[in-house]
Amino acid sequence: QVHMVESGGRLVQAGDSLTLSCATSVRLFSTYSMAWFRQAAGKEREFVAGITWNGEYTRYADSVKGRFTISRENAKNTAYLLMASLEPEDTAVYYCALTIGAAGTPQYSGEYDYWGQGTQVTVSS
């Protein structure tokens, strides 16, 4: 059974930074692409950032480009999302996701096979 657990979400003020972590129990974690998605209240889940198995390629949503950084530590089966210059519009539940079959950094949530339970990030103005 695969476990993926996000942590690090909390209430912060606009302009603050925050790092989310995603610890997984997936075997061969180092061979799969990972991503972060988010879902704000009343909105659809949206792609935030993705990273290939070796960290060589990353992709970001336009809304977070230049502010967020995705990374991974394969030796620890963990992925991270460093969020800087946070804005109230970043308020959402953040999910990490892993794809077994897709190459690259797909933006479509249906390409991902495993998901965490989510962690709430709230940015106050």
Residue by residue, DSSP assigns 9-72 as: --EEETT--EEEEEEE--TTGGGSEEEEEEE-TTS--EEEEEE-TTSS-EEE-TTTTTTEEEEE
- Can you give the pLDDT at residue 19? 98
pLDDT (tens digit per residue) in 67-124: 999 999 999 999 999 999 999 999 999 999 999 988 899 999 999 999 999 999 999 9
Q: 24-74 pLDDT, tens per residue?
A: 998 899 999 999 999 999 999 999 999 999 999 999 999 999 999 999 999
Report the pLDDT value the prediction gives residue 95, as an integer from 0 to 100.
Answer: 98
CA 82 remoteness from chain centre: 9
Write phi, then psi, for 63 (nearest 5 degrees). Answer: -70, -20
pLDDT at position 1: 81
pLDDT of residue 13: 98
* pLDDT the model gives residue 2: 83
Counting Cα atoms < 13 Å in the Cβ hemisphere of 75 gives 0
* The pLDDT value given to residue 101: 87
The pLDDT score that the predictor gives to residue 10 is 98
- Determine the Cα–Cα distance for residues 87 and 64; give it in Å rounded to an integer: 10
Pairing state of beta strands 18-24 and 78-83?
Answer: antiparallel
